[in-house]
Structure 1
Amino acid sequence: MKKILLMCTAGMSTSMMVQKMQESASEKNFDVEIEAFGSEHFNELVPKYDIVLLGPQLKYMLNEFKSRGVAQGKLIEVINPMDYAVMNGEKVLAHALELMG
């Protein structure tokens, strides 16, 4: 099972994206766990996930999060702003799975 963590400022907007991604995963019978939290939980949660996707509003923190996550062997990327704006969970899920290989 692949484990995907979405993070934004408070975990609210990414929670909506999680729902869209889960719908897509269910339709395609993908075995994934997807959750969303606020960025203040990064350090405690990152070890539990295969990839961390940041909401576009956290793009400015990408390098900081990468420096913390790379030490633990984690992929950390920013969600495409256009996909995020229209809540395209299918595309965001596909991109996350592609990054994980």
Structure 2
Amino acid sequence: MNIVLCCAGGFSTTMMMEKIKDVIRASARLNIEDFTLKAISADMLQEETEPIDVVLIGPQIAHREEYIRGILEPRGAAYAIMDKETYGKMDGATALKMALIADRKAHMKGA
């Protein structure tokens, strides 16, 4: 699964990305090789050429949801906006759960 984390500059999402990787590595059911994670600024999303399954959006750029959705819908990629509490605590487990749920919902819609 290819997960892209977006924020204003890509810096705080880099920390969240590492927390998500820690959760995956500690899991008995998940395999880190099954995931590709990348942290970028929202302004770089349009130029992203790799396939994207899910974008996790930092709460500080939630106001850019329409812009981001416009980029992702043609690609068939799902997204979720991380809430302030999850983001503030750098809760990688909850963020990963949000990505997995968004991906599953997108597949259910397409089925």
TM-score normalised per structure 2: 0.83
State the shift of 1:47 in Å.
5.0
**Alignment partner, residue 63 of structure 2:** 60
3-state SS, counterpart of residue 48 of structure 1: coil
**Alignment partner, residue 39 of structure 1:** 42
Work out the number of aligned pairs and report it. Answer: 100
Report Cα offsets for 1:2-33 as digits up to 9, x if no partner.
01000111100000000000000111133211
Cα 1:69–1:24 change in 2 (3 A) is: same
One of 94, 97, 105 as aligned partner of 1:94: 97
3-state SS, counterpart of residue 20 of structure 1: helix
Q: Which has the larger radius of gyration?
A: 2
Rounded to whole Å, the distance in 2 between the matches of 1:46 and 1:66 is: 16
1:19 partnered with 2:22: no
Rounded to whole Å, the distance in 2 between the matches of 1:92 and 1:46 is: 23
State the shift of 1:96 in Å.
0.6
State the shift of 1:46 in Å.
6.4
Rounded to whole Å, the distance in 2 between the matches of 1:76 and 1:48 is: 13
Rounded to whole Å, the distance in 2 between the matches of 1:12 and 1:68 is: 21
Amino acid at match of 2:18: Q
State the shift of 1:77 in Å.
2.0
Give ranges in structure 1 of 5+ residues lacking alignment: none
Rounded to whole Å, the distance in 2 between the matches of 1:74 and 1:47 is: 12
**Alignment partner, residue 84 of structure 1:** 87
Give ranges in structure 2 of 5+ residues lacking alignment: 105-111
Q: Which runs of 4+ in 1 moved over 3 A?
A: none
